[in-house]
Amino acid sequence: MSEDFTSIDKLGEFGLIQALTEKIPLQKASTVLGIGDDAAAFEHLLELSLCSSDLLVEGVHFDLTYVPPQHLGYKAAVVNFSDIAAMNGRPSQLLINLGISNRFGLEYLQELYRGIKLACEVYEVDLVGGDTTSSFSGLLISGTAIGSVPSERLVKRSGAKPNDLVVVSGDLGGAYLGLQILQREKSVFEADPDMQPQLAGNEYVLQRQLRPEARTDVVELLESLDVIPTSMIDLSDGLSSDLLHLCEASKTGVHLYEEKLPIDDQVFELAETFSLNASTVALNGGEDYELLFTIDLKDHDKIKGHPHLSVIGHMTDLEEGRHLITPDGNRLALQAQGWNSLLKQQK
């Protein structure tokens, strides 16, 4: 964090908003009016509009001792873009609401906005507004993303049918292990402030936790492959819980194959360091922001062997139940354990 501290009390709400949002170029044709009026205006000709919010609360969703403000801003934007991608859409506008205490100076908030602006650049989204207020309970950041999708390409959670293939993008479990490393280094530091954090070598999982990406590229890829998923969700809670959401909404069962789970080598190694089973981490670790979707069997050839996509199972009749099939053929009931299971498993 910068050494400079400009009190936000001195700037006032108007001065602060101006300092944070000046020089933001608008680049989307769909943005008619950006920051500066009572509401932003946009139009999505011929497409459905999509809208999604996420609220991040200090102490609940992030810990300021190890999350740099620029990364926090980036993540606050990207988690919203991910929800738009999960509807098979593209994000185009973003609003950011802030609750801040005078503990934060202008310099800190400018860093936060550097991250938000970077995410907007990378994903070609316009920052078009928000609200700013004081908070007595730490930092609150809420993002609202607006996007669009041609109506025939909209994908809901509820469209999967028995025999559809279950597909996931990227790899799983990294963000959870990144968090484990940050928490471990925080407790080492609290015990002895002279200790330097040992983060080297763990860059991949740290990036997965601190600076996640939304898989809007997968939305583009599916369009170029001429595939419309039958159902889709983004992975925020963990594969087990989110897959169960698809099954619930679609009224199906599922067979998920443990040996097919995409897991990075670094995740395997680190799981061992933390005495965790890598598959359990992949199943229950949250915040990977990959896309989980189902496709009709007839589309299998179109995605087969694609390096960013793994077929990890198939939907079944509801009566079959929802199971993880282990490499030795055992069937375990899939459970939405989220992070609890990981805590229990840790020695």
Among 8, 21, 111, 126, binds ligand ADP (CB under 6 A): 21
Among 17, 145, 181, 334, binds ligand ADP (CB under 6 A): 17
Among 91, 115, 129, 253, binds ligand ADP (CB under 6 A): 129
> DSSP 3-state assignment of 18?
helix
CB of 63 to ligand ADP, least distance (A): 22
According to DSSP, the β-strands at 231-234 and 291-295 are antiparallel
CB of 131 to Mg ion, least distance (A): 5
Angle, CA of 87, 252 and 317, to the nearest 5°: 145
Q: Which of residues 126-155 bind Mg ion (CB under 5 A)?
A: 131
Q: Does 72 bind ligand ADP (CB under 6 A)?
A: no
Number of Cβ within 10 Å of residue 35's Cβ equals 18
CB of 127 to ligand ADP, least distance (A): 6
The site string for ligand ADP over 22-51 (x = CB under 6 A, - otherwise) reads -------------xxxx-------------
Q: Does 131 bind ligand ADP (CB under 6 A)?
A: yes
CA distance 183 to 112: 21
Q: Does 37 bind Mg ion (CB under 5 A)?
A: no
Judge contact between 148 and 29, C-beta under 8 A. no
Angle, CA of 182, 184 and 190, to the nearest 5°: 100
The site string for ligand ADP over 301-340 (x = CB under 6 A, - otherwise) reads ----------------------------------------
Q: Does 124 bind Mg ion (CB under 5 A)?
A: no
CB of 62 to ligand ADP, least distance (A): 17
Number of Cβ within 10 Å of residue 246's Cβ equals 26
Q: Cβ closer to Mg ion: 131 or 259?
A: 131
CA distance 346 to 337: 14
DSSP 67-118: --HHHHHHHHHHHHHHHHHTTT-EEEEEEEEEEE-TTS-HHHHHHHHHHHHH
Q: Which stretch binds ligand ADP (CB under 6 A): 44-52, 127-135, 142-150, 268-276?
A: 127-135
Rg (CA), the chain: 21
- Which of Mg ion, ligand ADP, none has residue 82 at its interface (CB below 5 to 8 Å by kind)? none
Distances from the Cα of 201 to the Cα of 7, 88, 207, 273, 281, angstroms = 37, 35, 12, 13, 19
CA distance 146 to 84: 8
CB of 36 to ligand ADP, least distance (A): 5
Interface with ligand ADP (CB under 6 A), residue total: 12
Distances from the Cα of 253 to the Cα of 248, 262, 293, angstroms = 8, 21, 14
Q: Does 141 bind ligand ADP (CB under 6 A)?
A: no
- Which of ligand ADP, Mg ion, none has residue 291 at its interface (CB below 5 to 8 Å by kind)? none
Residues forming the site for Mg ion (CB under 5 A): 131
Residues forming the site for ligand ADP (CB under 6 A): 17, 21, 35-38, 96, 98, 129-132
